[in-house]
Chain A
Amino acid sequence: MVVNYYEVKNCRYEIYDNCPVLFPPDDTAESLLREYGFVKLIDGRWCKFLSVTEYQHILHGNVNFDISYNPLKYTDSENTGNNRFSNILSILSLICFAVGIEPFLVMSFTPVFVFWGFAIALVIAARVITPKNIFAKVLSILYIIVGIIITILIIILIIACQHMCDSCINAFNDCHIPG
């Protein structure tokens, strides 16, 4: 089947690795392919992995992707339910993160890893279920910032400890026992 994917014309519809894909003609410009979300496979060919709605569009006998393609026609109507679920996951994630702050301050690391591990897993689940959920997006940015700060603090701590040890050892080396 030949499919016209917006400006990338005469694409070949095939099944690759059990997924529906479009292979463009060999002479198509790479910049155009990148613009429309085509990716380069390990065997050197460019292809477009179709989304569920795009696949549905083709299944309904349409071979042109242009203004006639409306993904909302094929969208899952339970989207609002997913959004609510993501909000609940995000709230639970925030609670786990908040509970983990106190053990972090008293340097008791096992509960920190457990609670913050859950917090990260929950926010990832929320982001996967509804990628556009703002609450989950903000939480994930917050966790990334906290992660970066902790990483920098660990590095500073290691360098500081190393300098402390070096200065202690140098001090001992400078001691000369008389006689």
Chain B
Amino acid sequence: MIAMKLHINTDYTGISPYPIMIILSFIVGLFVQYYFNVKRGINKNTSCKLILISPVMSVICAVLLTYYSSGRKYFGFSSIGGLVGMYMATLISAIIERKNGEIKIMLENCTFALPLMYSISKIGCLFAGCCHGIEYSGFLSVHYISNTCAEMALFPVQLLETIAFFIIFVVGIVLYKMHSRKSLYVTFGLSVSAKFIIDFFRESHNGKVLSFNQLLCLILWAVMIAVSWLYKRRKCGRFCLKRN
């Protein structure tokens, strides 16, 4: 059996791939979101404002979550913080424009784009050596080589996430093209579940029953259930509806 291994040297003399992939993930994700927004009838002005606000809110929330979850010890980028920032930006843009129905459509388009953004950003993590997996020397193990630490053979958890979330993105788009009303919930549910399960293979999970990220995933599940339940029960009170 061929033991395929990835050897990655994390001593970069030029620019590290990590910021490049983060920026690329924003560019691609925001383009997908913009494309879907315009295709589905959202005003171009609103869609452009969203491109402006989303990266700012995403970065700020990502940094804030890492800062406070580490006990104010260090800064970093948290993917769940970034997700919250993207949703907040979308919600704010939709509420300010105040056109009925646009909030749901913009949040749907954000949900479709997020797995693709996460998939691309994890390529940066793979090359930077962060968010790495547990010790593993089997098929496709990642061997990090660096002048600052000993060579490590680890589970390719970032690669697994890249592939898994790309598949989730494709599944979401296929379901959307098939006009399935479940496409939104399937995309979001699969994303949160994949993040939860894959976290078991991360080195930071060692010695814990549930990691901080997994707890956040459970919260996201609860938020999804609560939002869908509240949405079904809402009555458009401003209208005092009369049926024809």
Interface residues of A, Cβ cutoff 8 Å to B: 1, 13, 15, 17-21, 33-34, 37-44, 46-47, 49-52, 55, 59, 109, 113, 124, 127-128, 131, 144, 147-148, 150-151, 154-155, 158-159, 162, 166, 169-170, 173
- Nearest chain B CB to A81 CB, angstrom units: 18
Complex Cα distance, B198 from A174, in Å, reads 40
Contact B101 A128 (CB under 8 A): no
A39 touches B102 (CB 8 A): yes
Asked if residues B60 and A147 are in contact (CB atoms below 8 Å), the reply is yes
Specify the chain B residue showing the minimal Cβ separation from A50. B100
Q: List 27 A-B contacts (CB under 8 A).
A: A17-B231, A18-B234, A18-B235, A19-B101, A19-B236, A19-B239, A21-B101, A37-B41, A39-B41, A40-B39, A40-B40, A42-B180, A43-B179, A46-B41, A52-B238, A55-B239, A124-B95, A131-B97, A148-B56, A151-B56, A155-B19, A158-B19, A159-B15, A159-B19, A162-B16, A170-B147, A173-B147
Given contacts A33-B41, A59-B242, 11 further A-B contacts (CB under 8 A): A15-B243, A17-B231, A19-B100, A39-B105, A40-B40, A40-B41, A55-B239, A127-B96, A148-B56, A150-B60, A169-B148
In the complex the two chains form, is A124's CB within 8 Å of B96's CB?
Answer: yes
Partner of A144, one of B56, B104, B108, B231: B56
Q: Is the CB of A151 within 8 A of B60?
A: yes
Range class of the B interface residue count: 35 or more
Q: Which of A55, A127, A144 contacts B52 (CB 8 A)?
A: A144
How long is the Cα–Cα vector from A50 to B231 in the complex, in angstroms?
A: 18
Which chain B residues border A124 with CB–CB below 8 Å?
Answer: 92, 95-96
* B104 / chain A contacts, CB cutoff of 8 Å: 17
Q: In the complex the two chains form, what is the Cα distance from A144 to B48 in whole Å?
A: 13
In the complex, are the beta carbons of A42 and B184 less than 8 A apart? yes
Residues of A within 8 A of B148 (CB): 169
Chain B min CB distance to A94 (Å): 18
Quote the shortest CB–CB distance from B119 to chain A (angstroms).
22
Contact (Cβ within 8 A) B244 A154: no
Instruction: Pick from B59, B96, B241: contact of A151, CB below 8 A.
Output: B59
B192 interface hit (Cβ, 8 Å): no
Most chain A beta carbons < 10 A, residue from B59, B64, B235, B238: B59
In the complex, what's the smallest C-beta–C-beta distance from B90 to chain A, in angstroms? 13
Question: Which residues of the partner chain A approach B101 to less than 8 Å between Cβ atoms?
Answer: 19, 21, 39, 47, 49
The 5 closest A-B pairs by CB, nearest first: A49-B101, A49-B100, A39-B41, A44-B179, A40-B40
Q: How far is the CA of A47 from the CA of B102 in the complex (A)?
A: 11
When distances are taken between beta carbons in the complex, the residues of chain A under 8 Å from B41 are 33-34, 37-40, 46
Q: Cβ of B8 < 8 Å from any Cβ of A?
A: no
Q: Is the CB of A42 within 8 A of B19?
A: no
User: Restricting to B200-244, which residues have a CB under 8 Å from any CB of A?
Assistant: 231, 234-236, 238-239, 241-244
